[in-house]
Structure 1
Amino acid sequence: MARGQKHYTEEFKNTIVEIYNAGKSLAELNSEYAISKSTITGWIKKNKPIVVDKNTTITATE
């Protein structure tokens, strides 16, 4: 891990994504949690649902 870089648990990342999906803006999350907007955007992209077929939905990390 690079010097000065923070490590976040998957649970924390998922919580931030859920808060974003509930309506908080990137700016609000950045201000409240001191996490860069680009980091949060990356977490959001990884957790964005992808429809595989009619009954199956996965995320990019799956």
Structure 2
Amino acid sequence: MSTRTKIVIGGVAVGFLTLFIFPWWLTALIILGVLAVPVVGYLALDPSQRKRVRAQSRKRLNG
């Protein structure tokens, strides 16, 4: 199992745990915040920086 898979499984487990500890709306806000941070970070990049990030991810996929 890859490291990324372990992180995803841990994140899902923490998400379910927060459902039992906090109200559902607070859990939804936490999950949305965790998803929004990388999106906002990507959108804050210049177009040339975004191009470099996309090229780097393609390079990882191919080799």
TM-score range, shorter chain: 0.3 to 0.5
TM-score, length basis structure 2: 0.34
Highest RCO, 1 vs 2 (Cα 8 Å, sep ≥ 6): 1
Could you state the TM-score of these two structures normalised by the residue count of structure 1?
Answer: 0.34
Between structure 1 and structure 2, the one with the greater Rg is 2
Select the structure that is richer in helix. 2
